[in-house]
Amino acid sequence: MKKLSFVLVILLAFSFFAFAAGGQQGGGAASGGALIGIAMPETHVQRWVKDGNALKAEAEKRGYRAEVQWGNADQTQQNQQIQSFLTQGAKVLVVGCLSDGVGSVIAEAARDKVAVIAYDRIIPNSADYDYYITFNNFKVGQLQAQGIEAALNLASASASAPKYITLFAGSPTDGNSFFFFDGAMSVLNPYIDKGVLKVVGPYPKTSADTANFQRIATENWFPAVAKTRMENLLNADARNVTLDAILSPNDTLARAIIEACRADAKYRTKLPVVTGQDAEFDSAMSIKNGEQYMTVFKDTAKLSEAAILLADQIVKGQAPNIPGAVLASGDLAKIGDTGKKVVKTYLLDPISVTKSNLNVPVDAGFYEDAQASQLR
């Protein structure tokens, strides 16, 4: 009898372990334990810290292992980080790249059959991946320019009393910079053509004017670069006019530009209308205090959630279905053109935020509680 119960216990134990292992294996095939490598570009722009952490948390929520690294605005460093994800056997890479210099490690990932999702920024000049998830970046630029259009009441401006604007663009190594700029200029060019808006400093009509675009671009999105350029402008081309607006492609640069303006007596009491992007807390405060004019809110919590959902569907061999995102088509398909291939591109919607609707990112839970209470 004793022997029988011993055998029974052993049998039970075996079937339990077999069940547990089977369960785990089932989970493993579905998702469990596979590694997602998350490569983010930089930390000097606040959003990426948040993006990296959110992506990791989302991946873990879905039963993956996840590792996140920030590239410190250095492509060589980011390539080493991605290489290490590959060495560790990552199944999926989520990459917010710095430049097309990432191409060699993306090619390696393709050889290893590792799925790559370009995150927020396209991976340019590569045919070695299939998916891209981002915001409608052309619309981001349109929203910035529409902010200027409304604030300066350009529709009623006349050529005899024109408004003055200076143009800034993001990093020329970041594919997004071209869309932000072209979106903005699609709104501003008609006013410039009519002579009611005058550009102070270089004027690329579109990003295709490479020489002038380079002059207004901001290498690596470094705020110090934008600040110096603004200071130089204030002492040269903008010396004898009062600027009404400055097109700034994001919040980090907007605050640097505002700092430069503040040091100029002309703008001490009234700043030009300065645009931004990312709804960073510091800029939201600046908007609340009547300094920066607007920002573009891109809900990166939703972007990271959608990116990990996409990763999960790819791993499980399911056809991607991303609620809240539209598959880029028609004119917007350009956003997913790497130069070597058009990748499947999912777009989320950006929202314009001024002082009058600062509650939108706050209510979306975009800020920590202590920050949110300062913004209410």
In whole angstroms, the minimum distance from the beta carbon of 73 to ligand BGC comes to 9
In whole angstroms, the minimum distance from the beta carbon of 65 to ligand BGC comes to 26
Helix crossing, 103-111 with 75-87: angle to 10°? 10
Task: Output 70 or 221, the one with its CB closest to ligand BGC.
Answer: 221
Task: Output 79 or 218, the one with its CB closest to ligand BGC.
Answer: 218
* Spatial CB neighbours of 169, under 8 Å, sequence gap ≥ 6: 177, 180, 181, 207, 213, 216, 217, 218, 249
In whole angstroms, the minimum distance from the beta carbon of 51 to ligand BGC comes to 9
Give the three-state DSSP class for 165.
Answer: strand
In whole angstroms, the minimum distance from the beta carbon of 244 to ligand BGC comes to 24
In whole angstroms, the minimum distance from the beta carbon of 220 to ligand BGC comes to 9
Task: Output 157 or 230, the one with its CB closest to ligand BGC.
Answer: 230
Task: Output 59 or 122, the one with its CB closest to ligand BGC.
Answer: 122
In whole angstroms, the minimum distance from the beta carbon of 169 to ligand BGC comes to 11
- Residues contributing to the site for ligand BGC (CB under 6 A): 45, 47, 120-121, 170, 174, 176, 221, 250, 277-278
In whole angstroms, the minimum distance from the beta carbon of 305 to ligand BGC comes to 17
Which amino acid makes up residue 236?
A
Task: Output 70 or 191, the one with its CB closest to ligand BGC.
Answer: 70
Backbone φ and ψ for 90, nearest 5 degrees, come out as -55, 145
Task: Output 143 or 196, the one with its CB closest to ligand BGC.
Answer: 143
Q: Could you count the other beta carbons within 10 Å of the beta carbon of residue 219?
A: 13
**C-alpha distances out from residue 92 to 115, 126, 193, 345, Å:** 5, 17, 47, 17
Q: Residue 247 forms beta bridges with which residues?
A: 167
In whole angstroms, the minimum distance from the beta carbon of 125 to ligand BGC comes to 16
Task: Name which of 46, 115, 127 is nearest 320 in CA terms.
Answer: 115
Task: Output 106 or 154, the one with its CB closest to ligand BGC.
Answer: 106
In whole angstroms, the minimum distance from the beta carbon of 145 to ligand BGC comes to 16
DSSP class of residue 272 equals P
361-375: burial string, b at 16+ Cβ within 10 Å, e else = bbeeebbeeeebeeb
* In the chain, alpha helices (H): 2-30, 47-61, 75-87, 103-111, 137-151, 175-194, 210-216, 223-235, 251-262, 281-288, 300-315, 359-363, 369-375
* Spatial CB neighbours of 182, under 8 Å, sequence gap ≥ 6: 138, 141, 206, 207
CA distance 80 to 342: 26
Task: Output 64 or 222, the one with its CB closest to ligand BGC.
Answer: 222
Task: Output 244 or 280, the one with its CB closest to ligand BGC.
Answer: 280
